[in-house]
Amino acid sequence: MMKNVTEDIDTAEDKRCRWEMVETQIVARGIKDRKVISTMLEIPRHFFVPPQYRKEAYEDHPVPIGYGQTISQPYMVALMTELLDLEPTDKVLEVGTGSGYQAAIIAPNVSAIYTVERIPELVEYAKNNLSKLGGEFNKNIHIFLGDGSAGLKEYAPYDKIIVTAGARVLPKAYIEQLRDGGRLVIPVGGDFGQTLYLIRKEKGKIVEEAVCGCVFVPLITEGKERDG
105: domain CATH number is 3.40.50.150
Of 103-107, 141-145, 224-228, which range is least confident?
224-228
Q: What percentage of residues in the chain have a pLDDT greater than 70? A: 93
Please state the domain count of the chain.
1
The reply to whether 2 falls in a domain is no
pLDDT at 226 over 60: no
pLDDT range class, residue 135, cuts 50, 70, 90:
confident
pLDDT range class, residue 223, cuts 50, 70, 90:
very low
pTM of the model: 0.92
Predicted pLDDT of residue 116? 97
For range 176-181, the mean pLDDT? 97
- Which domain does 17 fall in, by range? 12-225
Task: Render pLDDT for 51-96 as a digit per residue (tens, 0 to 9).
Answer: 999 999 999 999 999 999 999 999 999 999 999 999 999 999 999 9
Examine the residue annotation and report whether 131 is marked as an active-site residue of this protein: no
Average pLDDT, the chain: 92
Q: What percentage of residues in the chain have a pLDDT greater than 90? A: 86
* Opening angle at CA 42, ends 16 and 74, nearest 5: 75
pLDDT at 191 over 90: no
Exactly one of 38, 72, 99, 131 is catalytic; name it: 72
The reply to whether 182 falls in a domain is yes
The reply to whether 221 falls in a domain is yes
